[in-house]
Structure 1
Amino acid sequence: MPTLSSLLQKLQVPHDGKPLSVLRNPDLEPIPYHKRKWGFWSFFAYWGLPNFSAATFSIGSATLSLGLNIKQSIGAIVVSNIIITLYTSMNSNPGYKYHIGYTLDQRMLFGIYGSGIGIIFRVGLSVVLYGYLSWMGALCLNLIFSSWSKSYMNMKNTFPESVPMTRRDCIAFLIFQLIQMPLSFVHPRKINRAGVCCCFMAMFSIIGILAYMVNKNGGPGPIYYEGMDLDSSQRAWMWILAITVWYSGISPVMANQSDYSRYSSNKKQMHLGIALGICFAGTFAPVAGMFSASASQQLYGEALWLPTDMVLKWLEDDYSAKARCAAFFIGLSFTSTQIIVNMTQNGYACGMDLAGIFPKYINITRGTIFVQLISWVVQPWTFFNTTSAFLNSMTSFGIFTTPIMAINVVDYYFVRKTRIAISDLFTLDKNGAFWFYHGFNLRSIFALAVGVALGLPGLVFSVNTSLPINEGMNNFFNGYTFFSVIVSGVLYYILVLIFPIRQRVGVVDAKDYFNAFSPEECLELNMEPYSEELEEEYIGLELGNVGSRTRPNPEDIEKNEGRYTPSETEIVVVKNLEKKD
């Protein structure tokens, strides 16, 4: 139908004459080297922001609820941060070396069609976490409004008791959502400077809260001196569960690390920024939160874990200019932190993922707007209703992302030996490196399914406490930070050994078709640098457009040290493809 065809044409994403297909749009292509500007401070802020946030400040409530004391909780957090740094660094290298994001990474792991599995997992988590962090951002925004108006702070709640939120929080939630929406039109790589500024604002706010609470109380408070009633076996498992609680809340960010490591201009600076952002910020903020909550126990008769609750308590006790000023600046720092964190780690991430599912019609901006509009459906206010609901939600996210990260590391380092043919990520050619079996890599899909399935019973036990608990399954869930990595990663490698991958393993493109690599990178990869002549060439679009491609004999590839020079039959003229498309 001409009308329908015309409508679909108008709905296509803006692409400025660049190739557009069912597998490709400008937001999915590798990042050109002249656009890669992220250095040490950008990556420090990227990881410092979630760690200097209100949610991380209050994580001690979850670890202490397991029966650990403050000292044991700090130890578990330190160990967890080391593990997170290791996982993140290893998971970020494909994005740094080949400048591709999580979406294309899934095509490498699960196949051109199978990539939808990993993408859908990440989209679902993005929607949940976007709503969760938006609600937390609304609580921070309340500090600003409360510092402006005492009547707003004391607003009467007109909602029934069955609704787990107040009228004041609902208003702030709606406003916070509106504040975030214009940022959908800002490209993710351009938000790093704002992130650095907000990161340091939040860090100084945490320092201020800690100094004020401990100084006013005259010490760290009673919780700090509490002991433990756990035996050695129970303590060991609670350590593992505490590590999982802390790790799981940040695991979706680790999974899509390639989305941002592809913006890196320097590998050493990237890894150093990641390490300090995780280990320093990720340890200091929870420790400050536990000390502040311990002091609040003695000062106010109850432990206040959220910084928003502490600051509101200051205003309730003394609505003076000094308290209002402190509330405003603390509220501003935490609110801005929540905005940047939510956009970079959930909003933009979801936009990138949806662009991989519908490249012709969804780009990062459109996908981000989608998650913004739908995130309220998850009812994030219920996450804050009880401690158990909060804990369960925090410990479930990594079940889905941890096996993906394990498979990614094994595939990139041990199977492909850090060599990827990027052009094959954009083709439906059956001879492509990532076509596998009808577009699905059954090895990785099976390894993922096993890793996820083994963790689900423990999740069910944690939600429905009336069920009889299988101790083995429950322990696997409590320690899936380690166990899922071993199960899925090792299983995938064994399957590759039993059923070897036949298509172009360990091969890189002979030419820089995407203008993504610097001259130094091209020299290192033995790749022909980009030139204007290559503007009319590119490997891979839709099978109906590209026709058949001649593939080399695997023995010839081995003789040439894994490198492959394409024949003339592999060159595709974009101008003709666009006319056909």
Structure 2
Amino acid sequence: MPSQISKARVQHWSKRLECPVDENANYENTYWCNRDLIPIPPDRRTWTWQGYAGYWIITGANNSAWMAGSTLISLGLSVSQSMGVIVGSSLIIAIIAIVAGWMGSHDYLGFTVMSRASWGMIGGFWPVLNRIMTACIWMGIQTYWGGQAIKIVLGAVIGPKYAFMSNTLPASANVDTCSLVSFFIFLVVFFPCLFVPPEKLQMPLRIAFIMIVCNIFGMLIWAVRTAGGAGSLMSTGPTESGSMLSWNTVYGIQAILGLWSGGIVGQSDWTRYAKTQNASIFGQGVTAPLTIIITALCGVIITSATYEIYGQYFWNPFELLLHVQSVSMTPAARAGTFFSGLAFLASQLALCIILNGISTGMDMAALCPRWINIRRGCVVLTIIAVAVCPWNYVNSASTFITVLSGWSIFLSGMTGILISDYFLVRKRQLHVGDMYLGNSSSAYWYTYGVNWRAVVAWAMSIWPLLPGFVRRVQGTANGNGWDHCYDLSYFFGFFMAVFVHWGLHAAFPAKKQTGQSPFVMELHRGEMIEGHQPSYESSSNHDGEAVIIGEKNV
């Protein structure tokens, strides 16, 4: 009897904790499906071109773009050469973002579900887990910098009493008391943002990107005016020459691509909310490269100008503002750092939501759709981000950061497989209902749930890069063949995965490799859950969307 009571309680709470289901929904929560994994219905497609323009202003105008110049200059490039690399890299980022986002804006499916088509129903967990792992660390790092924005804002409001409070933590903690307190204040501010649905984020993002743009140009005007010019760094020539300079230029392109590799592979997570099929293209094709280029250029000019003011280079804008407060607490300095810190706070809130929270929340939803949706996934991600103590990675452990920034060697192959599978193998035709069938009746079950073709393609895209990757992490790279192969890492991994995946599918075709069928509608929910494969006769309504007009069990 007690065991029966316990079992009943477990079933009761299991049912109560299931993800909410929309009223009159055409789906049910299963081990493969919930509200956030189904093709986005028309009433939730609310994003316009302005929303995507704002998305890319926030994504492009961040610390990574601001400090891109420092990465390239440290490789021996001049400022003009560095900007040339950034222009070329940002255009490549725009092209890949458009292509990777196409499946979202046309089939309304995100990266998580699309991975099932290319990797298999079970194999699709592998790229998802890769993104989750990296996102947990990046989320922690971004929340830490959000804490630094809080530190700047409160330091401007409260004054030295807060900004320079005595540190009670040991040096081994890798964080001071004020930064730790600010970090947790940021989490309190950030946590309610997790409960805003993705389709309702456009207005908050518009406010954020207006603040970000004003802040960048405001800091630029202040720095140049105070320094009396752009500074001497702008006219400094390259410190490398010959083949070393050429290979460092190539590696610089890979480094810039790597910074956005996680965001562009998951573009469909956001383009699936597009109100029209081409709504995202302006943001991806114009706003993305323009924002990255302008932010990087402003970052270089501000760093160069402030060197003339303070006698040292501050590549990180947070460190620059904190230094301003440390040398001056005049009303003008406090007002300037307050508004600038407020803009960076808005930037960090938006970055944590759109680059880490929502996308990774959907990835986590794929692990357990019945009980995890985007909102709950975001909460889990935030908890893990706190648990990893991100200040250890920001203030020390440079080797770990090198590993994290080089993770693009794994993501480039996954991007290639995703694009190859959708455009070349399937020719943009999907059996959407099969993406929610976890048995051999699914077109995407392959061999025990895993598409071995994708596994081989991914392995072939990374193994030649691993020796150079390890040597780069260990600091032993000396320009041999393995090192130069790694210098080409993103391009090599991407194109190798594209052609190997395509070639293997051409040589060993899979079941239902082409052809299409719509998402399983309400009348077929029982069939989907029980694992039977329905067949359809379909046509299109006046909006061009598939409508089932007949059915039969197979």
Normalising by structure 1, we get a TM-score of 0.87
1:570 aligned onto 2:553 = yes
In structure 1, what is the Cα distance between the partners aligned to 2:231 and 2:254?
A: 27
Structure 1 residue 86 and structure 2 residue 69: aligned?
no
What does residue 324 of structure 2 align with? 314
- The aligned residue for residue 430 of structure 1 is 440
Q: Percent identity?
A: 25
Partners in 2 of 1:292 and 1:68 — Cα distance?
Answer: 18
Q: Could you tell me how far 1:118 is from its partner in structure 2?
A: 1.0
Amino acid at match of 1:490: F
1:278-308: per-residue Cα shift (whole Å, max 9, x none)? 1111000111011111112222111111222
Q: Is the 8 A contact 1:423 1:539 kept in 2?
A: no
Q: CA separation in 1, counterparts of 2:512 and 2:259?
A: 37
Answer whether contact 1:54 1:334 (CA < 8 A) is retained: no
CA contact (8 A) 1:429 1:540 kept: no
Give the conservation status (yes or no) of the 8 Å contact 2:141–2:394: no
Task: Specify which of 293, 303, 306 is matched with residue 296 of structure 1.
Answer: 306
Aligned amino acid, residue 287 of structure 1: L
How many residue pairs get aligned? The number is 536
Secondary structure of the structure 2 residue equivalent to 1:220: coil
For 2:515, give the aligned amino acid.
V
Contact kept? 1:424, 1:539, Cα under 8 Å = no
Sort the Cα spacing of 1:429 and 1:313 in 2 relative to 1 into closer, same or farther, 3 A. Answer: closer
Q: Does 1:98 align with 2:107?
A: yes
Matched, 1:507 2:494: no
Q: What is the distance in 1 between the residues matched to 2:254 and 2:552? A: 51
2:20 to 4, 8, 14: 14
Given that 1:126 and 1:346 are in contact with CA atoms closer than 8 Å, whether structure 2 keeps it comes out as: yes
**CA deviation map 1:30-80 (0-9, x unaligned):** 111222111111111111102222342222222211111211111110000
Contact 2:534 2:551 in 1 (8 A): no
Shift of residue 244, structure 1, vs aligned partner: 1.6
1:376-405 residue CA offsets vs partner (Å, 9 max, x unmatched): 233322333369558615632312221111
With over 3 angstroms needed to count, the CA separation of the structure-2 counterparts of 1:63 and 1:381, relative to structure 1, is farther
Mapped pair 1:452 → 2:456: no
Counterpart in the other structure of 1:283 = 293
Q: Any conservation in 2 of the 1:424–1:540 contact (CA below 8 Å)?
A: no
Alignment of 1:481-492 (within 5 A): 481-492=490-501
Contact 1:147 1:325 in 2 (8 A): yes
The C-alpha deviation readout for 1:511-536, integer Å capped at 9, x for no partner, is 5645xxxxxxxxxxxxxxxxxxxx32
Give the conservation status (yes or no) of the 8 Å contact 2:536–2:552: no
Superposition RMSD in Å: 2.4
Displacement of 1:138 after TM fit?
1.3
Structural mapping, 1:322-337, within 5 Å: 322-337=332-347
**Matched residue, 1:124:** 133
Aligned to 2:247: 237
Q: Which residue is 1:531 aligned to?
A: none
> Partner of 2:318: helix, strand, or coil?
helix
The corresponding residue for 2:49 is 40
Q: Flag structure 1 segments of 5+ consecutive residues without an equivalent.
A: 515-534, 553-562, 572-581
1:537 matched to which residue of 2? 524
Contact 2:79–2:234 (Cα < 8 Å) also in 1: yes
What corresponds to 1:547 in structure 2?
532
Residues 498-554 of structure 1: CA distance to partner in whole angstroms, max 9, x if unpaired? 2112x2222222x5645xxxxxxxxxxxxxxxxxxxx32348634xx13365799xx
Q: Compute the displacement of 1:326 (Å).
A: 1.2
Taking a change above 3 Å as real, the CA distance of residues 84 and 407 of structure 1, as seen in their structure-2 partners, is same
Q: Which runs of 4+ in 1 moved over 4 A?
A: 386-391, 467-470, 511-514, 548-552, 563-567
User: Conserved in 1, the CA contact under 8 Å of 2:108 and 2:273?
Assistant: yes
In the TM superposition, residue 129 of structure 1 has moved relative to its aligned partner by 0.9
- What residue identity is the alignment partner of 2:268? S
The whole-number CA distance in structure 2 between the counterparts of 1:395 and 1:71 is 24
CA deviations over 1:295-336 (Å, ceiling 9, x no partner): 122221111112222223333333122221111111111111
Q: Report if aligned partners of 1:347, 1:368 keep a CA contact under 8 Å in 2.
A: yes
Q: Assess if the C-alpha contact under 8 Å between 1:123 and 1:354 holds in 2.
A: yes
Compared CA separation, residues 471 and 40, structure 1 to 2 (3 A) = same
Does the 8 Å CA contact 2:118/2:451 hold for their aligned counterparts? yes
Q: Deviation of residue 568 (structure 1)?
A: 3.8
Question: Deviation digits for residues 124-166 of structure 1, max 9, x if unmatched?
Answer: 1110110111111111221101101221112222222233222
Are the equivalent residues in 2 in contact too, given 1:249–1:397 (CA < 8 A)? no
SS of the residue 2:234 aligns to? helix
- Contact 2:102 2:268 (C-alpha < 8 Å) held by counterparts: yes
Matches of 1:391 and 1:472 in 2, distance apart? 24
* Alpha-carbon separation, structure 1, partners of 2:465 and 2:528: 38
For residues 564 and 429 of structure 1, the distance between their equivalents in structure 2, rounded to whole angstroms, comes to 25
Measured after TM superposition, the shift of residue 413 of structure 1 is 0.9
